[in-house]
């Protein structure tokens, strides 16, 4: 479980650092999970769930942040284009 936790944390950190795309992040987290499942003990399920949910929150919060930035940039480009067209 500790290896999975470290690997998942590294994957999420790479995503947060813009070194992984969202699809690549999800694929990497899935691969890390697939490596853990055969070794998992049933008593580790609650801890696994906690780790997975925390990673999900971090990734989705970052996706929301990126979407807000994308919309703000699109609006700024549109505003600049409109100013240029009216001159």
Q: How confident is the model at residue 84 (pLDDT cuts 50, 70, 90)?
A: low
pLDDT 10s digits, 19-74? 999 999 999 999 999 999 999 999 999 999 999 999 999 999 999 999 999 999 88
DSSP helix, strand, coil percent of the chain (3-state; round to 5): 90, 0, 10
Please give the C-alpha separations between residue 17 and each of 25, 33, 82, 86, in angstroms, as whole numbers.
11, 21, 33, 39
Comparing 29 with 81, the larger pLDDT belongs to 29
Q: What is the mean pLDDT of residues 69-83?
A: 83
What confidence tens digit (pLDDT) does each residue in 58-68 have?
Answer: 999 999 999 99
- Break the chain into its structural domains and give their ranges: 2-86
**Helices vs strands, H then E, count in the chain:** 3, 0
């Amino acid at each position: 479980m500790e290896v999975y936790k470290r690997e998942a944390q590294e994957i999420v950190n790479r995503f947060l650092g813009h070194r992984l795309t969202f699809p690549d992040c999800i694929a990497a987290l899935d691969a890390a999970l697939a490596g853990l499942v055969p070794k998992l003990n049933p008593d580790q399920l609650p801890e696994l769930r906690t780790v997975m949910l925390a990673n999900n929150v971090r990734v989705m919060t970052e996706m929301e942040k990126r979407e807000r930035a994308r919309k703000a940039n699109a609006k700024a480009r549109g505003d600049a284009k409109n100013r240029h067209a009216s001159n």
